[in-house]
Amino acid sequence: MLAALCEGGGSPADVALLRSGQLSKRMLQLRAIVDASERWAVEAGELARVEQSYQSLIAVQRYEPGIVAELLASPQVGAWAAWCLRRLTSGGRGDGDHSELPPLWVDLAHLGAITAVAAIRSGLELRTSLPARAGSVTLPTLGRLTVDSGNPWTLARFDLSSRVATVLVEGFRVIVPPRWHGDVPGWEPVRRLQSRIDGVELTAALDDLDPYWQCFGLPVCGRLGPDAVERWRCRLVEAWTVLAARHPERLSTIGASVACLVPLASRSSPSRVSASSRHAPGAVALSEPASGVGLAATLIHEVQHFKLNALHDLVPLYRPDAIGSLYSPWRHDPRPLAGLLHGIYAFVGVAEFLRRERECARRRDAQAELELARYSEQLRVGYEQAVAAQGLTAAGAKLVAALGTAIERLHGGLFTS
């Protein structure tokens, strides 16, 4: 596994192993949140009923372990867990401007929303508490329920009995639709995009609802209209077609890695951006794609980040004290060793994609030629920086050596084809 991943590749089995490591990490995070919330018992933990939600989640895990494992591994839960731990370890503040933050108990009570989703998916009857925010209740990975509440933050009650899920807020009871994938009055589902070619499927949520996407550090758009959703659906089908036709070795890995697309707010600049977060593996935040080829390249780029983050969690690639500033050809600012490695790893994948696209093109494209040549030279410079850097572990040195081989192969293909 290590050899394949170090060269920038990796099979679906390798990705599954990386995901299992992330699930173990998520379980530890969850336990840490529960333990830390006890120190906030009067102000937050007790009000949020964290321990009760946690015990209910354990009950669902005993009943349907696979459902809980899938939910805990979701990027929505990962983003929430990282945010909660940040607030719990920073005196309840978190990052950036604190004036708009909800009370800490609201974030902690979101564990009840996660437990409610586990109950809905498994069918296990239970009751728990969950937060209502400005007239809505978010059920992560499922959707958002409109509730009648005049308070910006309040604690609601969830109940699942006789196969009917309800939310009680300030005396008003609202039913969660049994077919949660569809739009009904008062319910906004998390949409699903799907493409299937040659037996390999990508099913990704198009999640414009989750309240914890601040992990990307970029503004997320509001609720998408039907026309916009259809454009995203078409771009995904186009991207999957491109990958199946010219990059079939990427299909299974991307299908096993990408769980969620997070649409970013439109920008005044025509340039498109994308991002991933080590806290939410499986989620890709991006501007609306202009083409299937562009989306395919973005998916390859961000999956490279997923793999490297997960690999580092299992086998450390650099020492914790490796925080020096290094020149990164892709950035205007100096980067730590981790950032440099991520740049090399991600752009090796993108450059190989572009090289294959060039080889398959019916006519030469001067802009594509220039872009590929630029990436190739940037990779060479980045590799030289990584080789000379201090702080690599033995596994990290092996990674850099393997990436050097991939870059050399890319240079040969670039100048001889």
Q: Give tens-digit pLDDT for 330-341.
A: 888 888 999 999
Judgement on whether residues 184 and 196 belong to the same structural domain of the protein: no
Q: What is the pLDDT of residue 43?
A: 56
- Which residues, in sequence order, are CB contacts of 121 under 8 Å at separation 6+? 64, 67, 71
pLDDT at 361 over 80: no
Higher pLDDT, 240 or 14: 240
Last residue within a domain, chosen from 146, 172, 188 = 188
| One domain for residues 382 and 291 | no
Closest CA to 391 of 310, 318, 334: 318
Number of domains in the chain: 3
Among 6-10, 281-285, 383-387, which is the least confidently predicted range? 6-10
Query: Is residue 311 included in any domain, yes or no?
Result: no
Q: What is the mean pLDDT of the chain?
A: 89
**Is the domain of 74 the same as that of 181?**
yes
Lowest-pLDDT range, 89-98, 307-316, 346-355, 391-400? 89-98
pLDDT of 90 reads 84
Same domain, 203 and 67: no
Q: Which residue has the tokens 């437990």?
A: 115
Q: Which of 118-127, 194-203, 310-319 has the lowest average pLDDT?
A: 194-203
Of 266, 300, 334, the position where a domain reaches its end is 300
With 60 as the cut, is the pLDDT of residue 206 above it? yes
pLDDT at 11: 79
**Same-domain pairing of 250 and 285:** yes
Instruction: Give pLDDT, residue 417.
Output: 42
Domain match, 339 and 229 both: no
pLDDT tier for residue 17 given thresholds of 50, 70 and 90? confident
Residue 160 shares a structural domain with residue 15: yes
Flag whether 168 is in a domain.
yes
Q: Does the pLDDT at position 328 exceed 60?
A: yes
- Alpha-carbon distance of 260 to 239, in angstroms, equals 15
Among residues 167, 141, 177, 160, the alpha carbon closest in space to that of 68 is found at 141
Same-domain pairing of 340 and 402: yes
Range of the domain at 371: 316-417
What was the pLDDT predicted at 188?
A: 96
Res 367 pLDDT > 60: yes
In the chain, the percentage of residues whose pLDDT exceeds 90 is 67
d(CA 408, CA 403): 9
Same domain, 390 and 338: yes
Model pLDDT, residue 37: 86
Q: Which of 14, 13, 69 is nearest to 314 (CA)?
A: 14
Q: With cut-offs at 50, 70 and 90, classify the pLDDT of residue 92.
A: low
Percentage, residues of the chain above pLDDT 70: 91
Query: Which pLDDT score, from 0 to 100, does residue 416 have?
Result: 44
> Is residue 174 domain-shared with residue 203, that is, in the same domain?
no
**Residue 308 in domain:** no
Regarding whether 374 and 324 lie in a shared domain, the answer is yes
Boundary (domain end) residue, out of 134, 153, 188: 188
Residue 269: per-residue pLDDT: 61
- With bands split at pLDDT 50, 70 and 90, how would you rate the model's confidence at 415? very low
288 assigned to some structural domain: yes
Burial pattern 257-278, b for ≥16 Cβ within 10 A else e, equals bbbbbbbbeeeeeeebebbbbb
The tens digit of pLDDT for each residue in 33-79 reads 999 987 765 555 566 689 999 999 999 999 999 999 999 999 999 99
Mean pLDDT in residue range 201-224: 95
Would the pLDDT of 96 be above 80? no
Mean pLDDT across 191-203: 89
- Poorest-pLDDT segment among 50-59, 66-75, 132-141, 268-277: 268-277
Instruction: Return the beta strands (E) in 25-146 as ranges.
Output: 126-133, 136-139, 143-146
pTM, rounded to two decimals: 0.92
Residue 256 lies in a domain: yes
Are residues 335 and 284 part of one domain?
A: no
Name the band, by pLDDT with cuts 50, 70 and 90, for residue 295: very high
At 101-117, the pLDDT tens digits run 899 999 999 999 999 99
Per-residue pLDDT at 412 exceeds 80: no
pLDDT over 50 at 241, yes or no: yes
**Assigned domain for 87 exists:** yes
Q: Is residue 66 part of a domain?
A: yes
CA distances to 160, 295, 399 from 198, rounded to whole Å, are: 39, 19, 32
**What's the pLDDT score for residue 363?**
66
pLDDT score of 120: 97
User: Please, which pLDDT band fits residue 9 given cuts at 50, 70 and 90?
Assistant: confident
So what's the pLDDT on residue 266? Answer: 85
Res 178: pLDDT: 87
Domain membership of residue 305 (yes or no) is: no
